[in-house]
Each structure stands twice: as C-alpha cells, then as structure tokens.
Amino acid sequence: MKITLQQTGQWLAADIQTPISLFLGLVGTGQGFLLESAEVDGRRGRYSVIGFNLLLRLGCKNGKLEVASRDNRLNQLKEYEGMDFIEGARKVMDAIHIEPQGDMKELPAIARGMFGYFGYTTIGMFEKKLEEVLPPENSDACLMLPGTIVLFDHLYNKLCMLNLADNLPVKMDRAAVERTPEAPSIGEVTTIPDKTSYIRNVQKVQEQLRQGEAIQVVLSTRFQASFEGDPFILYRRLRQINPSPYMFFMRLSHITLIGSSPETMVRCQNNVVEVCPIAGTRPRGASDAEDAELAEDLLADPKERAEHVMLVDLGRNDVGRIAEAGTVSVEKFMQVEKFSHVMHLTSYVKAQLMKGHDALDVLGATFPAGTVSGAPKIRAIEIIGETEAVSRGAYAGTIGWLGLDKDSVNLDTGILIRTMWVKDNTVQWQCGAGIVHDSVPEKEWEECQNKGRVLKVTLNATGEADVFTGR
C-alpha cells in the first residue's frame, strides 16, 4: 500500500508571535501538541513545533492497533487495525509518503513525521521476554499525523505553516491569546509509596543485588494531587522554571502530557543514531561557588562515576544491536550538565545505523533507557515490576517524533521524566533513583524528592509565573 500526501506550506513573519500565543490561538483547548527545546546552557533550540488538525491517530488497545482517520485518503489504513501495535504502526508508516512541494523540501525531517508517545508499559511489545511482567494488554501508546504543522524558526523569527490538505480549518483565536488564564485548583500532594515503604523497598532490592540478580535497579516514587483547570498553564510555568532539551505539551482525548525532560531517549539523524546516558545527580548550588563545589563533588563521587560508566556501557550495547560494525563511539564522556534545579553527569554514544532498520527498530533496540530501568535491563525491569506498588504508566516512557522519509531514518525522542500527566482530574508525576548494593536508602529517597521538586514548584507557582508568552 502507498498513500501519497502532498505537503504545501507558507512562510510568515513571526516577530510578534511566540509558540505559546500560536498554540493558544490555533489549538486552544483542542487536541494537539507543542514541542520545544532549550539547550543545556539555557538557549532556545532553533525550532518549536505545533501540530493540530489530526488526520490520523494510531492508538493501542489491549496491545492491538486502533486506527482513527479523519481523511478519506487514509481510510484504507484501517485494514491494519487489530494487528499487534508495533507491526501495525510500522505498516502504516511504510504506507504514508509525504511529498513536500516547492521549497518545503528543504525543511528538516521533523516536518514530515508522526508524533506521539510510548508509555513505559509498552516495553513488553518491543521485548517479548517482558510480556509477563509488562503485558501488551496494559500498553499505552499513541501516534498522530497532524494535518497542520507550524514550524517556528527562532533563529530568523519566522514560521512555516504546513498543510497536508486544502480544506483544514486554521483560524487564530486572538481572544484566547489575550485572555488572562485562571489558576488551576490543585489538591494536596501525596506520594506512593511513602518514605518508610520506599526505604523498605530499597533494602529489599539491595538484598537481591547482593545475591547477584542485577547490578542496579531504578526505583521510583509516584507524586499525585487532584487537579481542576487548564493543564496548559502548567506547561507555561514549567517551560520558564525548568527549560530543558525536551519540552512538550500534548493534549489528547484520554490524557494530557506536560514535561521538560533533560534526557534523550534516542535520536537518529540521517541514519546516525545517538543516545545520551544521564546518571549522577546533585542539586544546584545557591551560589556560583557552591555550584562549582557540587559539580566537583559529583565528578569525584566513585558511586556516581561507577553508575555512569555502567549505563554508558549499556547504551553502547543497545546501540550496537542496530549499528554497523565498528561504528559505535562515545563522545563528550562524563561531562557535567546543569539544569534549573539539578546537575547531571552526561555522555553521548553515537553509531551508524545498519541498513534495513527503521525508526521503530531504533526505538525498540534502545527502549527503555537504562537510566530509568537499571542493568542488566531485563532483570532490572522484572524487579521493578515485582517491587513498585503502582504501574508506571507514561513515566519512563518516551515522547517525540518518528520521521516518514523513505531515503533515511530520522527520529528524536525524549524520556518521559520531569513529566506530569493529567487524567481523570488528577495530576501525577514520578521520579526514580538508581539503587546499587551500597546505596544509602535515605539518600535515594532524597534524590527522588530533588528530582520531583521542580514539578512541585510548577504546581505552586503564582503571579508573574503565569505571564510569559514572550518566551
């Protein structure tokens, strides 16, 4: 099957607009997404992307593909409905050919892709050995093909409005842009498990580690509170409080995802694969001197260094499964990268993609990241399933885009950490710590609290924190 969609576009000046004002005016409270990026030093990434007028939505129900189409040209894709989700999604992506017109051909691959997320619960669909602990029936994933994409170029203060059909509604609601947002109503934050239970879980896992069952296991804590209001205000706060490489707001019918993640899941640009393990954490200092002292302490900590080296090796092994022989390399090894509330040790692993693999193969070979599971990965995930009291849901999954170009493989996905999700009038988020045999349980609990603090700050922000459409 081959379905060709012509993509037309128009360049417009954007010197009086921002991604926030455009999302408010064009998408409002409808389904759609906003993806943004900030470099480690705080500078904005070149592009922000807004997607709406969803022509196609691929959902996962009981591990099987659901196909919802709003375009007659795509209706024939429903013949793949009911297949295993991964294989069905692969057939859909193989069938769709986007043909950009005119100078739209020069745009980056993100302009021609499917967007969405894979929850942690989808691991069992990629790795059959984990079907028992993470059954496909519980999987949560969604991929979307937006009929309209707004590609906002921060370098030249202009935007490109891209369409896959001629009759799509594109109207700017200026009243929605100018309306003063109402603060949401948020209840008391509770955790699952509590501190006592978490420490007991750490001790239980440490006994398993001493018996040689694994080297490291990442145990997480769930934070949650009742929520009433527009979740987009949380994103507006979070992007200012905690600018990160993967910032996103994705509103769907069944869930809204809000996040500012520091960590790449996996990236592939013109067949070059990259993963960026992050392991080793310290809070930011109150002054430059304290900040430098904490960074020096982090680099000198033997536990943090050993954990980081282990996860770099795990990243190399994951990438090696889909790489051309001899092309795996480590760049920028163990450097300190600083974010708003914490600093991390980070490395970059790259390789040339082996011919015959596609974007879903790249994702499957590396998912989930060792930084949110542990090592060896299979047994660590089994121990997590045996120990954690609640399903991780979206937490530790991945979000981003998978390219549809047929002449090269392109994708860019971030890990769903520093992420909130709103569902059934509840806001939730989750944070984890890597447990090894000599971990101090109380310190691992404190690490979870440090990582979750930025999201608590976001919930509690008031006043001027809600007024920043200029960023």
Q: What is residue 325's predicted lDDT score, i.e. its pLDDT?
A: 97
* CA distances (Å), origin 358, targets 125, 128, 225, 294: 16, 19, 39, 41
If pLDDT is split at 50, 70 and 90, which confidence band does 22 have? Answer: very high
- At residue 273, does pLDDT exceed 90? yes
pLDDT digits (tens, 9 = 90+) for 317-353: 999 999 999 999 998 899 999 877 789 899 999 999 9
Structure tokens at 236: 């507006």
* CA distances (Å), origin 250, targets 52, 259, 268, 467: 10, 9, 22, 20
For the chain, the average pLDDT equals 92
Rounded CA-CA distance 26/162 in Å is 13
> Do 307 and 436 contact (CB within 8 A), yes or no?
yes
| DSSP assignment string, 290-342 | HHHHHHHHHHH-HHHHHHHHHHHHHHHHHHHTSBPTT--EEEEEEEEEE-SSE
Share of the chain above pLDDT 70, in %: 96
pLDDT digits (tens, 9 = 90+) for 120-131: 999 999 999 999
> Do 421 and 394 contact (CB within 8 A), yes or no?
yes
- Please give the positions annotated as active site: 344, 371, 395, 418, 434
Most confident of 82-86, 103-107, 187-191: 82-86
Structure tokens at 342: 């914490």
DSSP state of 416: S
Rounded CA-CA distance 179/207 in Å is 56
- At residue 470, does pLDDT exceed 50? no
How many helices (H) and strands (E) would you count in the chain? Answer: 11, 23
| DSSP assignment string, 220-265 | EEEEEEEEES-THHHHHHHHHHS--SEEEEEE-SS-EEEEEE--EE
Contacts 24+ apart (CB under 8 A), 436-441: 436/206, 436/209, 436/215, 436/216, 436/303, 436/306, 436/307, 437/206, 437/209, 437/210, 438/303, 439/202, 439/206, 439/303, 441/198, 441/199, 441/202, 441/203, 441/206
If pLDDT is split at 50, 70 and 90, which confidence band does 179 have? Answer: confident
- At residue 206, does pLDDT exceed 60? yes
The Cβ of residue 35 has, within 10 Å, a number of other Cβ atoms equal to 23
Taking the whole predicted model, whether its pTM rises above 0.85 is answered as yes
Residue-wise burial string across 351-382, b where 16 or more C-beta atoms lie within 10 A, e elsewhere: bbbbeebbbbbbbbbbbbbbbbbbbebbbbbb
> Do 88 and 139 contact (CB within 8 A), yes or no?
no
Question: What CATH number has the domain spanning 3-166+185-460?
Answer: 3.60.120.10
- At residue 469, does pLDDT exceed 60? no
Q: Which residue has the higher pLDDT, 470 or 181?
A: 181
- Burial (CB < 10 A; 0-12, 13-18, 19+), residue 114, is buried
pLDDT digits (tens, 9 = 90+) for 406-463: 999 999 999 999 999 999 999 999 999 999 999 999 999 999 998 888 888 888 865 4
- At residue 468, does pLDDT exceed 50? no
> Do 58 and 89 contact (CB within 8 A), yes or no?
yes
Residues 6+ apart with CB under 8 A from 15: 157, 158
- At residue 170, does pLDDT exceed 50? yes
Residues 6+ apart with CB under 8 A from 432: 218, 219, 220, 221, 372, 396, 417, 448, 451
Cis peptide before 181 (omega within 30 of 0): no
Q: How many residues does the chain have?
A: 471
The Cβ of residue 337 has, within 10 Å, a number of other Cβ atoms equal to 18
pLDDT digits (tens, 9 = 90+) for 355-382: 999 999 999 999 999 999 999 999 999 9
Q: What is residue 43's predicted lDDT score, i.e. its pLDDT?
A: 54
E strand intervals along 101-230: 113-118, 141-153, 158-163, 185-186, 190-192, 216-228
- Burial (CB < 10 A; 0-12, 13-18, 19+), residue 97, is middle
Q: What stretch of H or E contains 27?
A: none
Structure tokens at 397: 């999954």
E strand intervals along 19-140: 32-36, 47-61, 64-69, 96-100, 113-118
pLDDT digits (tens, 9 = 90+) for 208-262: 999 999 999 999 999 999 999 999 999 999 998 888 899 999 999 999 999 999 8
pLDDT digits (tens, 9 = 90+) for 295-305: 999 999 998 89
Residues 6+ apart with CB under 8 A from 175: none
